[in-house]
């Protein structure tokens, strides 16, 4: 993706997320970036790990904070909402 050097690359179905220079980048196999899962929030610090599962993307920061985002369906964020 645009000459970035990824240290980690995760894939779930057609969604890809990679870690490059401490930042998370997400995209679809067709190149689309218009989806809640590809809209990476402002994490505010370097990321050391990223994972993709179903409708959720999670990033682990250098201070060991876990930040997740995505479609927030089926209780994926630990809330009772869908």
Task: Look at residue 74 in the predicted model and tell me its pLDDT.
Answer: 54
* Residues 50-68: tens digit of each pLDDT: 999 877 899 999 999 999 9
Looking at per-residue pLDDT, the higher value among 82 and 29 belongs to 29
DSSP result, the chain: -TT---SEEEEETTEEEEEETTEEEEEETTS---STTTS-----S-EEEEEEETTEEEEEETT--EEEEE---TTTTSSS--
pTM attached to this predicted model: 0.77
Per-residue pLDDT tens digits for 4-54: 898 999 998 888 899 999 999 988 888 777 776 778 888 999 999 999 987
């Amino acid at each position: 993706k645009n000459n970035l050097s990824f240290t980690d690359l995760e894939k779930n179905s057609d969604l890809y997320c990679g870690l490059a220079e401490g930042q998370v980048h997400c995209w679809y196999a067709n190149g689309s970036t218009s989806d809640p899962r590809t809209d990476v929030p402002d994490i505010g610090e370097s990321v050391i790990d990223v994972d993709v599962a179903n409708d959720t993307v999670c990033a682990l920061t250098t201070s060991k904070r876990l930040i997740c985002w995505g479609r927030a369906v089926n209780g994926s964020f630990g809330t009772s909402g869908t």
